[in-house]
A and B are shown apart, each in its own frame.
Chain A
Amino acid sequence: MGVLLYLVPAALTLGLLGLGAFMWSLRSGQYEDLDGAAVRVLADDDLADGEPAVGAGRR
């Protein structure tokens, strides 16, 4: 049963990491605008004007 000595702490640490990540996302306001996040992913604001979007050139 020696395996438990490192498996249990490992499992707990992973869980706590997940919890910490959730708390961070909550605090940084990522749950304030759920609909907006869904559509902002479509925005091309990282491209300079005139540069074609990826995929558009393939047609």
Chain B
Amino acid sequence: MGAQVIALPAAARRAPVAAPAGEATQDYSLFLRHDPGGETEMAFAVEGIDCAACIDEIEDGAEALPGVARARLNYTTHRLTVGWQAGAEAKPAELLAALARLGYRAYPFEADRLEEIENATSRHLLRCLAVAGFAMMNIMLLSVSVWSGNVTDITPETRDFFHWLSALIALPAAAYAGQPFFQSAFRALKARSLNMDVPITLGVLLALGVSVFETLNSAQHAYFDSAVMLLFFLLTGRYLDHAMRRKTRAEAGNLAALKATRANRIEPDGSLVTVPAAAIRPGDEVMLRAGERAPVDGVVLSGAAAVDESLVTGETLPRAVAAGESVHAGSLVHDGVLRLRTTAVGEDTFLDEIERLLDRASTARGRYIRLADRAARLYAPMVHTTALLSLIGWLVAGASVHHAVLIAVAVLIITCPCALALAVPAVQVVAAGALMRAGVLLNSGDTFERLAEVDTVAFDKTGTLTLPEPRLANEDAVPAHLLDVAARLALASTHPLARAVALARPGAVAPAELAEVPGAGVEGEIDGVPARLGSPVFCRCEALAARIAAGAPDASLVAVRLGEECAVLKVRQALRPDARAVIDTLRRAGRHVVLISGDRREAVAPVAAELSIEDWWAEARPADKIAVLDSLSAARRRVLMVGDGLNDAPSLASAHVSLSPITAADVTRAHADAVFLGERLAPVLTALAVSARARHLMRQNLMIAVIYNFIAVPLAIAGYVTPLVAALAMSGSSVIVTLNALRARLGTRGGN
């Protein structure tokens, strides 16, 4: 019953979305996978899934199409896999149209190799975890009998039998489930360094070895349970860590598909085919129309246009290009049509300078050492020294070699970083979940630690403090009826400025007869009166425009004329709605705020003044931005860089930590530590707050682990640690640390 209650309103309220542009033929061959049975398969990332009923709706809708054999939606990752019957022709365009009719926007999706590897590793960890869990429970069953038997009346024969049985379970299980640690420890030792896995491996191997030796000698105690329990807890931590990274990667993969650019390729026979940008090769000819972003680097073969390169350089005024000039990927065509010969695609579309700076910046970043690794570096030598010292101490004190070795092993087992291995990943998983709900997606696991140290925030202007799309700035100063006319005319144009004008009156209807005059504007009749929208010259109101331009050097002007009346509209990049509030909050929290932009001085100064930012730099080239960041870090400041342009990519990589909005250039998003969604700047604050809390909890957890060691190690050295004590201490500390990590979730819920 519940499903139907949910289903009906959901289906009713969903309006069909516009089908993807269909004038040119679509070519999806890049995404199709053919399996040996003749079936064709293709994956899609689907937007707009928000309820249980969507699953049925989408799958049924897809399966109703001719030729479709099966459709399966993954509700967790929002991906749809569709299989076409052997022999039937795969028609992805038809499927996309069908989904659009149902109200879902879908995008062809290709899982990257890295994600495949992560998935395989994750499954392997889960198998190891299962084996360790099975072994732990069964050995514990036997161990509890031995422990209770030891204080009552167990016979030595039964005890030996139980110990042998434990060995039979523990040895193969440890050999299988310990692989992740053994391999990593081996790699570290081969590179002549120590990581957390070295003491783990040593502890597990010694515990198993000593236990076998003790079993052979019919001793009272064996440590099989400790060794396997250790592996189980450590694998839990490792799996959690992995699950978090896998989830953010899946999310990032969907975003990449959603943002994937399409290109209009001109075939040798002159026809136009729409293909994914990834299918374009250097040398291909590409058509660019007004309102489209260049998917590749190219040289203009014919045509002329004004292109907006704000995503590339931060400069907000469009640049005129003509045949022979080059256009960079990410540039937005304002008006006109361009025919490009592709010079570079994909990763190669970096500007040379940016690529060089990026290389240098990323190597510098590599020096940051994670909190857990720092703890491990301190920890491993200390543990080994303590074990060795207690061995020598007991020998000097006159104990037998057998007794001294047993105590040294007990020290190694009890200090094995169970809680330490859970301390950081458990907090990360919970905090990453909290951030994801707040619209912040992480690219790397140690982002929290670095975000928490931030005391200075550097913003880029264009697209970061301001919205990526320009908005109408003087709505109040324009007579309402003229604005209505402007919005109606604007609907007919693909010019980005026209889009900003159309946004001012959402319900406007385009007049029936309109003519677009290339390079000038649109012309039509409204209620029998001739009307024009376009450049001031086209609307014959240069005098008015010149007066307005003098007061706003950073705005683009659009004029509208209705009969004898005319008005000039200022269109400019508007500040994000909460920019002022966010910057004030940052400042109140004692953080230094700076503005570094590649745009002109006249455009940056008013923004800096409006937000009362005192330290600002304009006309900064990528190298200048890095120089500013370097000077800040030389003053011992930890800088968070927030930026979106291609010109910001090197500075994002060189800053202590970086954020970028989802609308950023592809390269830039890839180099940011985290990406935030939506029009608001508030996620920056949330990210800082959650990470501060996460770091606090991580430290607290590490502290708990240290306190545990302070209690447990003296006991072990004194020789009081039996397998029972070890088991209690290990599970006790792990549970405390995990519970403490869950508080990261409680905190953010209150904060929102």
Residues of chain A at the chain B interface (Cβ within 8 Å)? 1, 4, 8, 11-12, 15-16, 18-19, 22-23, 26, 31-36, 39-40, 42-45, 53-56
B contact patch SS:
helix
What does the 1/0 interface line of B128-149 toward A look like (CB < 8 Å)? 0011001001100100000000
- Chain A proximity of B235: nearest CB distance (Å): 14
Would you give the shortest CB distance from A10 to chain B, in whole angstroms? 12
**Contact between A53 and B77, CB atoms less than 8 A apart:** no
Pairwise interchain contact B76-A43, C-beta atoms closer than 8 A: no
Q: Does B688 count as interface, using CB distance less than 8 angstroms?
A: no
Q: In the assembly, what is the distance between CA of A4 and CA of B127, in Å? A: 30
Given A26-B123, A31-B126, A43-B3, A8–B74 Cβ distance below 8 Å? Answer: no
Q: By the criterion CB–CB under 8 Å, are A39 and B4 in contact?
A: no
Contacts of B141 in A (CB 8 A): 11
A-B contact count (CB 8 A): 64
Q: Which of A23, A43, A54 contacts B55 (CB 8 A)?
A: A43
Cβ of B227 < 8 Å from any Cβ of A? no
Contact of A43 (CB < 8 Å), options: B1, B52, B123: B52
Find out whether the CB atom of B138 lies under 8 angstroms from the CB atom of A33.
no
A-facing mask of B641-660, CB < 8 A → 1, else 0? Answer: 00000000000000000000
What is the chain A residue whose CB lies nearest that of B155? A1
| Bound Cα distance from A11 to B141, whole angstroms | 9
Interface size class of B (residues with CB under 8 A): 20 to 34
By a CB distance below 8 angstroms, the chain A residues around B503 are none
- B contact set with A: CB distance below 8 Å: 1-4, 6, 52, 55-56, 73-77, 123, 126-127, 130-131, 134, 137-138, 141, 155, 158, 161, 165, 169
List the 4 closest A-B pairs by CB distance, nearest first.
A36-B75, A39-B52, A42-B3, A19-B134
* A36 adjacent to B55 (CB under 8 Å): yes
CA distance A55 to B3 in the complex (A): 12
Known A4-B161, A35-B76; further 17 A-B contacts with Cβ < 8 A:
A8-B165, A11-B141, A12-B169, A15-B137, A23-B127, A31-B126, A32-B76, A33-B76, A35-B75, A39-B52, A40-B52, A42-B2, A42-B3, A42-B52, A43-B56, A44-B4, A56-B4
| Interface pair A56/B126, CB less than 8 Å apart | no
| 26 A-B contact pairs sorted by A residue (CB < 8 Å) | A4-B161, A15-B134, A15-B137, A16-B134, A19-B131, A22-B130, A26-B123, A26-B126, A26-B127, A31-B126, A32-B74, A32-B76, A33-B74, A35-B76, A36-B55, A39-B52, A40-B52, A40-B55, A40-B75, A42-B2, A42-B3, A43-B52, A44-B4, A53-B3, A53-B4, A56-B1
- Complex Cα spacing A55 to B138, Å: 43
- The answer on a CB contact under 8 Å between A33 and B75 is yes
- Which residue of the partner chain B has the closest CB to A34? B76
Residues of A within 8 A of B74 (CB): 32-33, 36
- Whole-angstrom distance from the CB of A48 to the nearest CB of chain B? 14
Chain A contacts for B52, CB-based, 8 A: 39-40, 42-43
Determine whether the beta carbon of B138 is less than 8 Å from that of A11: yes
